[in-house]
Copies of this chain bind each other. A is one copy, B any other.
Amino acid sequence: MPIDFRTDPSRYRHWRLACEGPVATLSMDVDPAASLFPECELKLNSYDLGVDIELADAVQRLRFEHPEVRVVVLRSAKPAVFCAGANIRMLGRASHGHKVNFCKFTNETRIAIEEAAAESHQPWLAVLHAPAAGGGYELALACAHIMLIDDRRAAVSLPEVPLLGVLPATGGLTRLTDKRRVRRDRADVFCTTEEGVRGRRAQEWGLIDELVPPSRWEDAVAARAGALAATSDRPAEARGIALTPLERSITDTTIDYPHLHVALDRPGKRATFTLRGPDRAPADLHAEGAASWPLAAARALDDAILHLRINEASLGLWVLRTEGDPATILATDTLLAADDWLAREIRLFWKRVLKRLDVSSRSLIALIEPGSCFAGTLAELAFVADRAVMHAGAEGNAPARLTLGACNFGSYKMGNGLTRLATRFLGAPDAEAAAHAAIGQALDADSADALGLITESIDPIDWDDTIRLLLDERASFSPDALSALEANLRFAGPETMETRIFGRLSAWQNWVFQRPGAAGDAGALHRYGSGTKPEFDPERV
């Protein structure tokens, strides 16, 4: 059974979402019996991918369906625990690939929580009335403010190293050093102390923001939620956009959504995405809601990425194609540039979807052909790709063309804080200005090549052979070496907390996830809870 990323609050097994005016409360109440892996009991609000899929859905709906929500209070519905982190039995049983994908998705969701605060002015408040361990504390770290009750029991901890022989890898280490700037020796003590840190020391070390005695707890939570809500500019009177169920049909060789067709070629180890541009620019984004092209197409692309990542791991090459009328997508982009909460949310959603592509461990090849629609927002697919090759001719009246829009110079920043064009032209700053001057021009292959926007312009007579050779050759290389290569080449320029999470931290965790001391039969993930100590090779590498 493929894992399905589509859900909605009526189907949640693990969370309860309640909105009252500007304050939403999201309560974690994991159903121990409802794991994706039937043999793993999700005790103590521990989570697996299924729990996190619901969390990601809630993050998304709070932004689109609840423009009036100005603060999200994240609580636990279990009396004795906030959250015990990722389920250890699941980590012990899951394949290497599942573990890596699980961490990637959970990291993306936590970064989306931070983006909600920074860009949509919808901060999250972590309310720790009881212990938050491992991934539970990492979830709190993604919030704008962490409150901890000052009793003898409530503590924050990252016990992965002493207990499990792996890293806290949902951004915990990076958020300690980069976001909270915890002194490195204190971070070392904290991460090697199984029981964690509580009370005044947690506050003094900067592990939490606010320590509250039990007698004032609920009042303090309400006051803090109110204070955070007061900082937001979200529109109190606006009506949300319902994220209606996403239509999708899957066969063995195709996946179809309203604006996206994905062809699966298993012998060729590739999936070809064909994204169709809008037939017309939306008359009114608010009135059309989830049916409007920019929102529907982004949802389709997001779902296809997530589905293929986890359910189709052997399709190592994603070919990116587009179809449609460049003028219509440029007109749609103009609507998206409006100073309006919904336009902002849709822009930010495209930004997140494109960032999912940046961190997908798949080779990305964009084919810019006659009849294609690489313009504005969709032109970004050419810049997200490891290579973009362009047909130097026409079919009938429709030559291949690439059209830049203003959005390519600001709306869709990568994790490194730069646009893809700025990253592309780090070594040639004049090239970015030249590209900017070409906004709105339908560039043919020669012009796009001269501006440095594509990898290669290909003569029509050679197109079929060249593309076939390129895709076949790529599919013949070591999938692992390509994943590692792409992860190093895609992020030139500045590093941010986000690029460090996906670069340094994730790479180390992936390394540990293969080590016998963690993942082996006698390793810590398998031996956890068995009463038998794990076996470690004493050699340092």
A174 interface residue (CB < 8 Å to B): yes
Asked if B388 and A185 sit within 8 Å, CB to CB, the answer is yes
A59 interface residue (CB < 8 Å to B): no
Asked if A492 and B387 sit within 8 Å, CB to CB, the answer is no
- How far is A495 from B480 in the complex, measured between Cα atoms in Å? 25
Asked if B426 and A480 sit within 8 Å, CB to CB, the answer is no
> Most chain-B Cβ atoms within 10 A of its Cβ — which of A162, A173, A183, A387?
A183
Interface extent on A, as a size class? 35 or more
Interface residues of A in 197-217 (CB under 8 A from B): 206
A518 interface residue (CB < 8 Å to B): yes
A460 interface residue (CB < 8 Å to B): no
A187 CB contact (under 8 Å) in B480, B489, B507: B489
Asked if B517 and A184 sit within 8 Å, CB to CB, the answer is no
Closest to A206 in B: B427
Q: Which of A108-116, A219-227, A532-540 participates in binding chain B?
A: A532-540
Asked if B507 and A477 sit within 8 Å, CB to CB, the answer is no
A181 interface residue (CB < 8 Å to B): yes
Quick one: CB contact mask for A83-107 with B, threshold 8 Å, 1 for yes?
A: 0000000000000110011000000
User: Given A167-B485, A427-B206, A541-B483, are A477 and B185 also a contact pair (CB < 8 Å)?
Assistant: no
Asked if B540 and A474 sit within 8 Å, CB to CB, the answer is no
Interface residues of A in 382-407 (CB under 8 A from B): 385-388
Asked if A483 and B540 sit within 8 Å, CB to CB, the answer is yes
Closest to A266 in B: B538
- A128 to nearest B CB, angstroms? 21
| Interface CB pairs A-B, < 8 A, 21 | A97-B541, A161-B477, A167-B484, A173-B488, A173-B489, A177-B489, A181-B428, A184-B492, A188-B485, A189-B387, A479-B536, A479-B539, A480-B537, A483-B541, A484-B511, A494-B495, A500-B503, A503-B504, A507-B511, A510-B541, A514-B515
Given contacts A361-B540, A480-B511, A504-B504, list 9 more A-B pairs with CB under 8 A: A181-B428, A184-B490, A189-B387, A191-B485, A480-B518, A481-B517, A482-B540, A494-B495, A514-B515
Q: Identify the A interface with B (CB < 8 A).
A: 96-97, 100-101, 160-162, 164-167, 173-174, 176-178, 180-189, 191-192, 206, 269, 313-316, 361-362, 385-388, 423-428, 452, 454-455, 473-474, 477-495, 500, 503-505, 507-512, 514-515, 517-518, 524, 534, 536-541
